[in-house]
């Protein structure tokens, strides 16, 4: 089956947009509910109030707001923006929300077939037209590791190697190609479908042309291989190794053997002090308090219940970096812990037989243990010769043992540098260079044919006869959200349209959505985005107002039965408004994108909480949706969170109500989507005389993809709430 895309090339100054299908204005919820709260009956709640357009958006203004958009996985794993940024050093997905004050949506079309009949234009039609185009293919960006540097500025326990990376390395190429297709041209008075109500005015002196592009079933594939030399940590990854050779003999050892259980605690792992070393000089002398002579040797000292095993070789000072060049170790200086006891150990005592003042092979020395019990040594990957574990931080201080008696710590590592360990093993190219081949593919649509339709310019569509018998337009404002996700090196773009109007309360126009129970589908992909939709658009209350005012303390409950072709659903809704003076979001000034956003606190806010419970009669299955939104004065939406729940999940039992995340009603909610404001720009405009001084044009909602201002994106049916798009496929990403 061929795919169809339509392009519209006449750019308007101001548009009134309408759709080819009608919508229902559903205000019946309030009258159907008789047993719930409804504070709208109260003229004064005695608390904070504010105009809804001051706290949400004045759609007469140009608004461009940027939000950080958290998907279900991000909401489950990261409590805040700072948590996410501290781990990944980058922002989460950014969503842009825009208003279009010069575009209005009119929702009442009708049909007039005599004006839509198409006539073929032979002179403008042709076969085998050639269109030259090009496609750009880009490689997967990466960074080269330029070096490692030990961070001496951090606290000693937090010191580790800092990775110094290059800028992003990437490449691209452009491939030129020709696409061959047939062109057919037609003319008609207006395009189809026509309006259903009101008056339509056309300009018979001007034509507009609309192109319908039909695409072949299979796209054209282009590919290119990019070759790079990449610098990276070698597979040895020495900086991540944690030593487990706790007697430093380069051989696997079983647990140390016991001698005697001196203190009778049924183990042989204790190090017992026989005295209180009051002067802290390490020996028993005058002023020290004896505790007990555990081994009955009439000497107060330290007793080991086990054999504190040495390594039968002389050990020099554990390698350390002498920050102050004092020649002695200080507690703030980094060292290589060779014996796993967590403290620095100096060289072993020896008899300087040759008077060289340094140890010489063959001289007698005291072979010390590490003064602690050692269990069987751990090894890596099932290989007893690999006496180390691998950590997740580069905090293993590397040492070059080219001179076995005077090892040197390595604070800085550059590509190509190698080192020798204590046992003579040489590790070459700790930072290695490898050749990589990055194969990238790009798909483009293959145009099968093109149909051009010429129609007259439509200059006005007026509906809604008022009480005086004249016609005036009712304003439906169209807004748009856009965001992108990167997966597997590929960027996927998403968007949605959000339509609002304010006949009293602030209302949102969308297609009503409903869930299906177990057995109807096995993943959200089986049925659109996890819901089915009514064909007609409906206008539903988003924010209740009293004379256009939001009011803290507003509390409204509604319930009604919704009979559909699939099932009867019982709908219950709860709406609450409260004042909030402490809403914190990452919308603070950042000098550039390489630093994290700073927190901003908004003090003049409303918090609006909305809960919907939808129960399918017969099956008894419930679906719940809860939205908490914070609106700041003269800013708009600053934060909003959506949660969902099921009593019986339609395709994944893991999302069915459980004992986790239970609220006060024992309902288990799953965090689905969160928006946090990162920046906003508002350009105020005075459009009082807009409809009088500027001509208007009628363009159907289904044909909004013709408009450049909307990036040629078509309108599609979706489940949404406010500026949230709710797509259950995000649960399985």
Q: Kindly state the average pLDDT of the residues 524-547.
A: 79
pLDDT in tens, 457-509: 554 443 444 445 544 445 778 889 999 988 777 888 999 999 888 877 999 98
Give 446's DSSP letter: -
At 184, is the secondary structure helix, strand, or coil?
A: strand
Confidence band (pLDDT; 50, 70, 90) for 14?
very low
Q: Kindly state the average pLDDT of the residues 517-543.
A: 73
N-to-C CA span, the chain: 28
Residue 678 · residue 67 · CB < 8 Å: yes
Q: How are beta strands 161-169 and 142-150 bridged, if at all?
A: antiparallel
According to DSSP, the residues that pair with 643 across neighbouring strands are 626, 671
| pLDDT score recorded for residue 397 | 93
Q: Which residue has the higher pLDDT, 37 or 521?
A: 37
Contacts of 342 (CB under 8 A, 6+ apart): none
Rounded Cα distance between 4 and 107, Å, is: 24
CB environment 506-518: b (16+ within 10 A), e (fewer): bbbbbbbbbbbbe
Cα Rg, the chain, nearest whole Å? 37
* Single pTM value for the model: 0.50
Rounded Cα distance between 308 and 256, Å, is: 7
The mean pLDDT of the chain is 82
Contacts of 581 (CB under 8 A, 6+ apart): 603, 604, 605
CA of 70: how far to CAs of 74, 93, 273, 639, 675, in Å?
Answer: 5, 7, 56, 11, 6
CA of 408: how far to CAs of 310, 405, 414, in Å?
Answer: 23, 10, 16
Give 191's DSSP letter: P
What whole-number percentage of the chain has pLDDT above 70? 81
pLDDT at 263 over 80: yes
At 240, is the secondary structure helix, strand, or coil?
A: helix
pLDDT in tens, 685-705: 654 444 444 444 445 566 677
> Which residue in 238, 234, 215 sits closest to 394, CA to CA?
238
CA of 719: how far to CAs of 24, 231, 559, 728, in Å?
Answer: 17, 46, 20, 10
At residue 509's C-alpha, the angle toward residues 650 and 69, to 5°, is 60
What the block records as the tokens of 444 is: 């483009």
pLDDT in tens, 588-641: 988 888 899 999 999 999 999 999 999 988 888 888 999 999 999 999 999 999
CA of 683: how far to CAs of 12, 50, 65, 319, in Å?
Answer: 21, 21, 11, 63
Confidence band (pLDDT; 50, 70, 90) for 205?
low
Residue 644 CB burial class (10 angstroms; 0-12, 13-18, ≥19): buried
- Name the E strands within 247-307: 271-273, 275-276, 289-290, 302-304
pLDDT in tens, 76-113: 888 899 989 988 889 999 999 998 877 766 544 443 44
| pLDDT score recorded for residue 456 | 62
């Amino acid at each position: 089956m061929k795919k169809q895309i339509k392009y519209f090339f006449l750019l308007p100054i101001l548009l009134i947009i309408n759709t080819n299908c009608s919508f229902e204005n559903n205000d019946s919820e309030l009258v159907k509910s008789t047993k719930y709260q409804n504070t709208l009956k109260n003229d004064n709640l005695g608390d904070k109030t504010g105009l809804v357009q001051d706290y949400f958006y004045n759609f007469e203004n140009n608004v461009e707001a940027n939000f950080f958009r958290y998907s279900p996985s991000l909401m489950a794993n990261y409590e805040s923006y700072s948590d996410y940024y501290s781990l990944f050093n980058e922002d989460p997905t950014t969503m842009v929300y825009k208003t279009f004050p010069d575009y209005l949506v009119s929702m009442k079309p009708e049909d007039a077939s005599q004006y839509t009949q198409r006539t073929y234009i032979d002179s403008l039609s042709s076969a085998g037209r050639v269109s030259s185009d090009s496609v750009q293919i880009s490689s997967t960006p990466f960074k080269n590791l330029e070096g490692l540097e030990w961070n001496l500025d951090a606290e000693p326990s937090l010191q580790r190697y800092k990775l110094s990376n290059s800028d992003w390395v990437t490449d691209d190429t452009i491939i030129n190609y020709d696409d061959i297709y047939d062109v057919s041209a037609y003319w008609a008075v207006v395009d189809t479908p026509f309006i259903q109500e009101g008056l339509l005015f056309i300009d018979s002196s001007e034509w507009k042309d609309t192109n319908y592009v039909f695409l072949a079933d299979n796209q054209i594939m282009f590919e290119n291989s990019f070759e790079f030399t990449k610098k990276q940590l070698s597979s040895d990854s020495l900086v991540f190794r944690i030593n487990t050779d706790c007697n430093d003999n380069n051989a696997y050892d079983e647990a140390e053997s016991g001698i005697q259980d001196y203190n009778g605690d049924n183990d042989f792992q204790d190090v017992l002090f026989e005295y209180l070393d009051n002067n802290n000089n390490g020996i028993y002398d005058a002023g020290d308090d004896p505790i007990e002579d555990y081994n009955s040797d009439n000497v107060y000292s330290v007793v080991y219940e086990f054999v504190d095993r040495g390594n039968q070789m002389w050990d020099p000072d554990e390698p350390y970096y002498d920050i102050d060049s004092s020649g002695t170790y200080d507690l703030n200086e980094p060292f290589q812990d060779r014996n796993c006891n967590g403290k620095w150990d100096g060289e072993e005592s020896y008899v300087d037989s040759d008077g060289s003042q340094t140890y010489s092979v063959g001289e007698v020395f005291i072979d010390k243990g590490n003064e602690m019990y050692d269990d069987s040594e751990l090894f890596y990957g099932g290989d007893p010769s690999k006496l180390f574990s691998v950590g997740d931080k580069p905090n293993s201080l590397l040492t070059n043992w080219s001179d076995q008696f005077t090892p040197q710590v390595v604070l800085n590592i550059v590509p190509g540098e190698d080192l020798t360990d204590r046992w003579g093993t040489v590790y070459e190219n700790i930072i290695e260079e490898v050749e990589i081949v990055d194969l990238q593919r790009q798909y483009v649509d293959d145009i099968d044919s093109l149909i051009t339709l010429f129609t007259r310019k439509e200059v006005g569509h007026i509906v809604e006869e008022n009480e005086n018998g004249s016609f005036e337009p009712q304003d439906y404002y169209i807004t748009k959200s856009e965001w992108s996700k990167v997966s597997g090196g590929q960027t996927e773009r998403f968007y949605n349209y959000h339509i609002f109007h304010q006949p009293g309360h602030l209302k949102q126009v969308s297609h009503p959505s409903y869930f299906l129970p177990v057995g109807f589908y096995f993943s959200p992909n089986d049925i659109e985005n996890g819901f089915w939709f009514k064909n007609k658009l409906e206008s539903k209350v988003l924010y209740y107002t009293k004379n256009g005012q939001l009011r803290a303390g507003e509390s409204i409950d509604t319930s009604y039965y919704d009979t559909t072709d699939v099932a009867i659903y019982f709908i219950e809704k709860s709406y609450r408004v409260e004042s909030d003076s402490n809403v914190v979001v990452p919308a603070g000034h950042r000098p550039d994108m390489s630093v994290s956003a700073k927190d901003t606190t908004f003090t003049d806010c409303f918090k609006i909480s909305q809960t919907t419970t939808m129960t399918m009669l017969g099956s008894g299955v419930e679906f719940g949706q809860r939205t908490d939104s914070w609106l700041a004065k003269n800013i708009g939406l600053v934060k909003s969170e959506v949660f969902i729940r099921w009593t019986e999940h339609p395709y994944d039992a893991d999302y069915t109500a459980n004992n986790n995340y239970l609220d006060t009603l024992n309902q288990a909610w799953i965090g689905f989507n969160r928006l946090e404001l990162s920046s906003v720009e508002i350009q105020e405009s005075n459009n009082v005389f807009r409809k009088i001084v500027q001509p208007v044009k009628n363009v159907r909602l289904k044909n909004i993809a013709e408009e450049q201002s909307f990036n040629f994106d078509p309108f599609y049916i979706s489940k949404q709430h406010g500026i949230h798009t709710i797509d259950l496929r995000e649960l399985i990403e």
